[in-house]
Amino acid sequence: MIVIDLKDAQKMAGVVQRTLLRNSPKPILNGVLVEAEGGAARFVTYNMSAGFRVEAPELNGHSERFVILSGERFLNFLKVAEGMHLGVERRGNQVYLEAGEAKLKLPAADALEYPVLPFIQTFMEFPGLIRGLTKTYPFTEGKESISARAGVHVQVQSGHIAIEATSGREAARIHGTAELPDSDWLIASEDAKDACSIFTADQAVYAQRQDGFLLLSDGSEITWIARLMDGKFTDLNNIFAVQSVGRWITKRGALLGATKRALAIISDKGNRSAKLKFEPQFLRLVGESPYGDVEEKIAGEYTGEPRESGFDLLYLQHLLNQWETETVQTDLFALRGSTLGLLFRGEQEEYLLAGTLMR
């Protein structure tokens, strides 16, 4: 019997469940691979885009490799299990689980048909990667993964890092520097979201590319594997090269507060936009919906002719949540159809929001 500290097992389960398949035509892919060797136990899940290896440091020396076929039931059992240890024993085509007074029997299978996931052999620290993915991910949310434009583009060239994403209208680019070899990755948007939910923004992660896979690790217990996308990412240089028709400067907190309050009133699936009216001494935010209307005045400095346009407030809120300075400066630029665009530039980040036509 494999014996693992229950807290370690629950930690592993909480991570690997993110890529557990539930409707695969191959039952083995709906399961959780259990590996025990070299004084450690690993749980592994896999799908067509990403997988996990999560390791626990202590067990009783067994060496085994098999799949618990009912992966969802196994992970649900661990969520509510109580006790000090988890016991896992395979007997033929069954696996027996024990935790405290609770016992569970689930079907098991050999792991010969389970996909072999690559594993990091050497580590290359990649500072700022998760924070950059966190800042850019929402700009690709909801887009189809088969398109290169649905991904998050990570490029390292001569020590300069650029992490880019675009929704087609809005765009984000995060800059940075690090002593890393040149590389060019395109990560599917949902995989980028998974990475951000597993690793914290300030966590030191280690990265390595193996063939068509990207591997990220915390350096000890968790290894996350994503299949990289093929295709060419949109060139954002022309998108960010805009000519300003005005400039607005205000306090981040004031604009964020007004945006949150407006979204709380007007937001639903079909409406997240409000009109922004730029005037010399303040910005007027006006939102209307069947649920109620809202108007906010945000003090600031504006240079340029009075202008107005509609903007998606959810994108604006995300941008302001990620902003790291107290003062927000944005350039206005003209779009087709008498609408505006907003270009936010920080020390290491650029965000572009495209306006919408509103009556």
Residue range 289-320, pLDDT digits in tens: 888 899 999 999 999 999 999 999 999 999 99
Are 151 and 140 in contact, with CB atoms under 8 Å apart? yes
The rounded percent of the chain whose pLDDT value lies above 70 is 94
Q: How far is CA 164 from the centre of its chain?
A: 13
For 109-124, the three-class secondary structure string (H helix, E strand, C coil) is: EECCCCCCCCCCCCCC
Q: May I ask the CATH class of domain 2-110?
A: alpha beta
φ, ψ dihedrals at 196, nearest 5°: -70, -25
Structure tokens at 10: 């629950």
pLDDT tier at 156 (50, 70, 90 boundaries)?
very high
Strand, coil or helix: 172: strand
What is the predicted pLDDT for the residue at 230?
85
Strand, coil or helix: 165: strand
Are 16 and 52 in contact, with CB atoms under 8 Å apart? yes
pLDDT tier at 119 (50, 70, 90 boundaries)?
low
b/e per residue 150-176 (b: at least 16 CB within 10 A): bbbbbebeeeebbbbbbbebbbbbbbb
Residue range 195-235, pLDDT digits in tens: 888 898 888 899 888 888 889 998 878 888 888 988 888 88
Please compute the mean of the pLDDT values over residues 29-56 and round it to a whole number: 84
What is the predicted pLDDT for the residue at 155?
93
pLDDT tier at 251 (50, 70, 90 boundaries)?
very high
What is the predicted pLDDT for the residue at 41?
85
Exposed/middle/buried for residue 242 (C-beta within 10 Å: 0-12, 13-18, 19+): middle
pLDDT tier at 350 (50, 70, 90 boundaries)?
very high
Residue range 173-190, pLDDT digits in tens: 999 888 888 889 999 888
What is the predicted pLDDT for the residue at 204?
83
Residue 321 in this model has a pLDDT that exceeds 70: yes
Q: Which has more confidence, 142 or 231? A: 231
Strand, coil or helix: 137: helix
Strand, coil or helix: 338: helix
Residue 123 in this model has a pLDDT that exceeds 80: no
CATH topology of domain 242-354: DNA Polymerase III; Chain A, domain 2 (3.10.150)
Residue 86 in this model has a pLDDT that exceeds 50: yes
- Tracing tokens 């749980």 back to the chain, one arrives at 43
What is the predicted pLDDT for the residue at 145?
46
Task: Indicate the average pLDDT of the chain.
Answer: 87
What is the predicted pLDDT for the residue at 221?
83
What is the predicted pLDDT for the residue at 147?
52
Are 270 and 201 in contact, with CB atoms under 8 Å apart? no
The rounded percent of the chain whose pLDDT value lies above 90 is 45
Residue 25 in this model has a pLDDT that exceeds 50: yes
**Sequence ranges of the domains in the chain:** 2-110, 129-237, 242-354
Residue range 48-61, pLDDT digits in tens: 777 888 887 665 56
Please compute the mean of the pLDDT values over residues 94-116 and round it to a whole number: 91
Same fold, 129-237 and 242-354: yes
Helices (DSSP H) in the chain: which residue ranges?
Answer: 6-16, 71-80, 129-136, 189-198, 237-240, 252-266, 313-322
Residue 22 in this model has a pLDDT that exceeds 90: no
Q: Which has more confidence, 115 or 93? A: 93
Residue 114 in this model has a pLDDT that exceeds 80: yes
Please compute the mean of the pLDDT values over residues 62-89 and round it to a whole number: 91
The domain defined by 129-237 carries CATH number 3.90.1300.10: no
Please compute the mean of the pLDDT values over residues 317-326 and round it to a whole number: 89
